[in-house]
């Protein structure tokens, strides 16, 4: 069964200030969505809520197909959120890419193979054994993408992935993300400005004045066109 994300009546407040109120939001497998909005409107907060890293004050986020949960358990493994500036764990680039694989019950051999694939995919092979904190901003972003890619996520939330990158890095990252979309992953990209990456997206939603508005949707148009 393909992935579906359903959010209902989402409200987030910080103290007395209501950041946003979203009656309904849906996302399906394979959709790519550009979440537009000025700095400080709550894009990061919304994406963390959708990823299960933050809790809404009200409302619910449902991910289908659902799975069982234990109090000790991990978050849903189908969904991965990437920070605007990736966090780099202590260790080498290869260690970082292997991080999530260690919690999926893979054997060492499989982990090594997948890390090698991830390194090639992100063109970081030459830096595999380098200390990851020494990477440049663009390389860190590619490493973070590879760290997610090797886990084969079905929904990827990218928080301003190209905000701190130079032009070449932006096009590399855009290629990598469009590859993941082509493989069937759903992607949400937030950005306060249009980039090579946001232009790839089929849907565009605008977070403004605490509301989420669908500005454009090529999937919808196709539906209505037929």
Partner 1 sequence: MDSLITTSIAALELLFSGDAELWTIIGVSFRVSLSAIAIAAIPALLLGFTLAMVQFPGRWALVAICNALMAVPTVVVGLTLYLVLSRSGPLGEWHLLFTQPAMVVGQVLLCFPVLVCMSHSAFQSVDKRAWETARTLGAPWHKALLTLVNEARFALLAALVAGFGRIISEVGCSMMVGGNILGYSRNIPTAIALETSKGEFAQGVALGMVLLLLALLLNFLLASVRGRGQQV
Binding residues for ligand ADP, rule: CB under 6 A, are 14, 19, 37, 39-45
Q: If phi over 0 gives left and psi between -120 and 50 gives alpha, with beta otherwise, what is residue 144?
A: alpha
CA 223 to CA 30: how far, in whole Å? 15
Q: Does 141 participate in binding Mg ion (rule CB under 5 A)?
A: no
Chain centroid to CA 11: how far?
Answer: 21
Residue 22 binding target from ligand ADP, partner 1, Mg ion, none, CB below 5 to 8 Å by type: none
CB of 128 to Mg ion, least distance (A): 30
Task: Between 44 and 202, name the residue whose CB sits nearer to partner 1.
Answer: 44
Angle at 30 between CA 62 and CA 86, to 5 degrees: 75
From the list Mg ion, partner 1, ligand ADP, none, pick the one residue 12 interacts with, judged by a Cβ distance below 5 to 8 Å according to partner type. Answer: none
Whose Cβ is closer to Mg ion: residue 81's or residue 121's?
81
CA distance 78 to 100: 12
- The smaller minimum CB distance to ligand ADP, of residues 42 and 100, is found at 42
Q: Starting from the edge strand earliest in sequence, which strands make up the sheet with 211-217, in order? A: 79-82, 155-159, 186-191, 32-36, 203-208, 211-217
Pick the closer one to ligand ADP by CB: 49 or 93.
49
Q: How far is CA 46 from CA 7, 64, 158, in A?
A: 11, 19, 12
Considering the rule CB under 5 A, would residue 44 count as an interface residue with Mg ion? yes
C-beta nearest to ligand ADP: residue: 44
- Minimum gap (Å) between residue 157 Cβ and ligand ADP: 12
DSSP state of 71: T
Nearest CB to ligand ADP, comparing residues 19 and 111: 19
Beta strand pairing call for 203-208 and 32-36: parallel
Residues that bind partner 1 (CB under 8 A): 48, 51-53, 72-75, 77, 79-81, 83, 85-87, 89-90, 99-100, 103-104, 131, 133-134, 147-148, 151
- Residue ranges binding Mg ion (CB under 5 A): 44
């Amino acid at each position: 069964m393909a992935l579906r994300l359903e959010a209902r009546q989402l409200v987030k407040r910080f103290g007395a200030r209501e950041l946003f109120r979203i009656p309904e939001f849906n996302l399906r497998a394979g959709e790519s969505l550009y979440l537009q909005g000025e700095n400080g409107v709550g894009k990061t907060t919304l994406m963390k809520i959708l990823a299960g890293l933050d809790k809404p004050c009200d409302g619910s986020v449902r991910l289908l197909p659902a799975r069982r949960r234990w109090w000790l358990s991990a978050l849903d493994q189908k969904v991965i959120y990437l920070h605007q500036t990736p966090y780099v764990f202590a260790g080498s680039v290869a260690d970082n890419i292997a991080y999530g694989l260690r919690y999926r019950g893979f054997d060492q051999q499989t982990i090594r193979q997948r890390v090698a694939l991830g390194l090639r995919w992100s063109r970081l092979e030459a830096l595999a054994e380098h200390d990851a904190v020494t990477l440049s901003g663009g390389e860190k972003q590619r490493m973070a993408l590879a760290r997610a890619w090797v886990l084969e996520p079905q929904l990827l939330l990218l928080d301003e992935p190209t905000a701190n990158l130079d032009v070449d890095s932006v096009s590399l990252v855009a290629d990598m993300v469009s590859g993941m979309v082509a493989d069937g992953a759903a992607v949400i990209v937030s950005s306060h400005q249009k980039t090579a990456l946001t232009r790839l997206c089929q849907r565009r939603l605008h977070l403004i004045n605490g509301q989420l508005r669908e500005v454009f949707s090529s999937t919808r148009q196709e539906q209505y066109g037929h």
